[in-house]
Amino acid sequence: MIKINKFNGSKGLKRLDQILDKRRLSQNHKVNVVSKILKDIKKNKYKALIKYEKKFSNNNQIKPSRKEVIKSTRSLSPKIKKAIDFAYNRILKYHSLQKIKNISYKDKLKNNLQYKSVPINKVGIYVPANLPSTLLMNAIPARIAGVKKIILANPRLNKKLNPAVIYAAKKLGIKEIYSIGGAQAIGSLAYIQKVDKIVGPGNIYVAKAKKEVFGDVGIEGMVAGPSEITVIANNKSEIKSVITSLIGQAEHDANSQSIIISKDLSVLRKVKKAIKANLENLPRKKIAEKSLKTNGLLIHASNDKNIVDLVNLIAPEHLEINVSNYKKYLSKIVNAGSICIGKFSAMAVTDYNVGTNHVLPTMGSARFSSGLNVSDFYKKISYINLSKKGIEEIGKQAITLAEYENLEGHALSIKSRIRSN
């Protein structure tokens, strides 16, 4: 199913980069249909939204009634509610520690300068399926930041609401809920509900839709989807845990990417041999098989430096360092959405209740962006209050630069204030 590859030296890294680019570019053919959907919703609002919901989801009930919302959570087992409550508390604790510090100081000229974080007013959260953990990951940081209004878009499953998502929404104080999905849900949040920012992961259609609406609304500073994992393993790693990490990511989406890197060829051969048997009883077997066949990679690294170079090039959403001597890699690996360290740190548990966020950069965007956090829900505003002495002293130097840049209007604006004093 998956071949064992080598990508040694600069030529090898270049060849791997071409493979990664091919995956990224293979998604672009879907942009045209997404653009059409978004333009239609922007122009025709609910009429277009209902059309696409019927076409893609066979859904004609866009906004659930209050009665339906209340009824949906009654069927949810106490066990699931308890698990959601547990995750809520851990995610809340971790994200509450992400404190934003405002800056305020007065210089010797008595100029008062400030830098303040102001919460975004209205946020749309997209949750692609019956995934209460995804709602917690997105809404808790928003609530901590002080976002006043959160709007949820969550597609129905078999024409029914997702009870666990609705339970989580109630716990988070989210009252405005829409039963919509896909690119049309992103279009609705942007052009009908007119939120200020849209967050939440999704398939390639959702990711592309978010990129298209950026500028009309804000989005996370990353590409969030399709999912990815890279695992570093050696001959002391437990093969079963390595394989299940690979499969656990592959079952997300046919476009997901799962990669194992090892210096030990025997490890890669064992993984390759055992994959088929481990897929056999997986409910999402067909999805995982397609993902592994299309995007799976087993990489035989030449040395530790090669491993570090490979990981930093891949810039995976999730990285598992499933070796006991992990410390030699930590300071050198700088491109990853999250890093799970040691044999007990399964990536899968971070999707739920460790406390860290699971909305992470994909498609190589971990090179320049971070996972979702509290600061994503703030705008940063500078405040400037100059004194009489301040405009006189600072203004002289500013006039010099303005005139040098041939911006006479700028210079005149400063001069008028100095003269008025």
**pLDDT tens for residues 302-338?**
999 999 999 999 999 999 999 999 999 999 999 999 9
The first and second tokens of residue 262, run together, are 């090892």
Query: Is there a single domain that holds both residue 50 and residue 144?
Result: yes
Question: Residue 365 falls within a domain, yes or no?
Answer: no
The first and second tokens of residue 421, run together, are 């004093």
DSSP codes, 177-220: EE---HHHHHHHHHHTS--SEEE----HHHHHHHHHHBTTBEE-
Query: Is there a single domain that holds both residue 165 and residue 45?
Result: yes
Percent of the chain with pLDDT over 70: 97
Query: Is there a single domain that holds both residue 102 and residue 68?
Result: yes
Question: Residue 202 falls within a domain, yes or no?
Answer: yes
Mean of pLDDT values over 3-17 = 91
Q: Name the strand (E) or helix (H) holding 15.
A: helix 9-26
Query: Is there a single domain that holds both residue 122 and residue 244?
Result: no
Classify 76 as helix, strand or coil.
Answer: coil
The first and second tokens of residue 47, run together, are 């009429």
Instruction: Bin 250: left if φ > 0, else alpha if -120 < ψ < 50, else beta.
Output: alpha
Question: Residue 304 falls within a domain, yes or no?
Answer: yes
Question: Residue 367 falls within a domain, yes or no?
Answer: no
Mean of pLDDT values over 213-234 = 89
Query: Is there a single domain that holds both residue 67 and residue 216?
Result: yes
Query: Is there a single domain that holds both residue 217 and residue 253?
Result: no
Q: Name the strand (E) or helix (H) holding 378.
A: strand 378-385
Question: Residue 359 falls within a domain, yes or no?
Answer: no
The first and second tokens of residue 38, run together, are 């978004």
Q: Which long-range contacts (CB under 8 A, 24 or more apart) does 325-331 make?
A: 328/304, 329/232, 329/304
**Count of domains for the chain:** 3
Classify 11 as helix, strand or coil.
Answer: helix
Mean of pLDDT values over 113-120 = 97
Question: Residue 179 falls within a domain, yes or no?
Answer: yes
Taking the C-alpha atoms of residue 195 and residue 124, their distance in angstroms, rounded to an integer, is 6
In this prediction, residue 27 carries a pLDDT of: 62
Taking the C-alpha atoms of residue 250 and residue 242, their distance in angstroms, rounded to an integer, is 13
Query: Is there a single domain that holds both residue 193 and residue 256?
Result: no
Give the residue from 191, 160, 149, 162 showing the smallest Cα distance to 52: 191
Taking the C-alpha atoms of residue 163 and residue 358, their distance in angstroms, rounded to an integer, is 21
Taking the C-alpha atoms of residue 164 and residue 77, their distance in angstroms, rounded to an integer, is 9
Strands in 103-106's sheet, in edge-to-edge order, are 103-106, 112-119, 378-385
Query: Is there a single domain that holds both residue 84 and residue 66?
Result: yes
Query: Is there a single domain that holds both residue 296 and residue 178?
Result: no
In this prediction, residue 401 carries a pLDDT of: 98
Mean of pLDDT values over 384-401 = 96
Query: Is there a single domain that holds both residue 182 and residue 248?
Result: no
Query: Is there a single domain that holds both residue 217 and residue 232?
Result: no
Taking the C-alpha atoms of residue 220 and residue 181, their distance in angstroms, rounded to an integer, is 18
22 pLDDT tier (thresholds 50, 70, 90): confident
Question: Residue 203 falls within a domain, yes or no?
Answer: yes
Q: Angle CA(413)–CA(419)–CA(421) in degrees, nearest 5?
A: 115
Contacts of 354 by beta carbon, 8 Å cutoff, 6+ apart: 90, 94
Which structural domain range is residue 400 located in? Answer: 386-420
In this prediction, residue 31 carries a pLDDT of: 66
CA 166 to chain centre: 21
DSSP, res 29 = G
How does strand 197-199 pair with strand 218-219?
Answer: parallel
227 pLDDT tier (thresholds 50, 70, 90): confident
Mean of pLDDT values over 16-39 = 82
**CATH number of 207's domain:** 3.40.50.1980
Which of 378, 394, 411 is where one domain is finished? 378
Query: Is there a single domain that holds both residue 261 and residue 212?
Result: no
Taking the C-alpha atoms of residue 232 and residue 341, their distance in angstroms, rounded to an integer, is 10
| Ranges of H-type helices in 27-131 | 31-44, 46-57, 66-74, 78-96
The mean predicted confidence, pLDDT, of the chain is 93
**Active site positions, annotated:** 317-318
In this prediction, residue 25 carries a pLDDT of: 75
Question: Residue 361 falls within a domain, yes or no?
Answer: no
Classify 380 as helix, strand or coil.
Answer: strand
32 pLDDT tier (thresholds 50, 70, 90): confident
Model-wide pTM > 0.75: yes
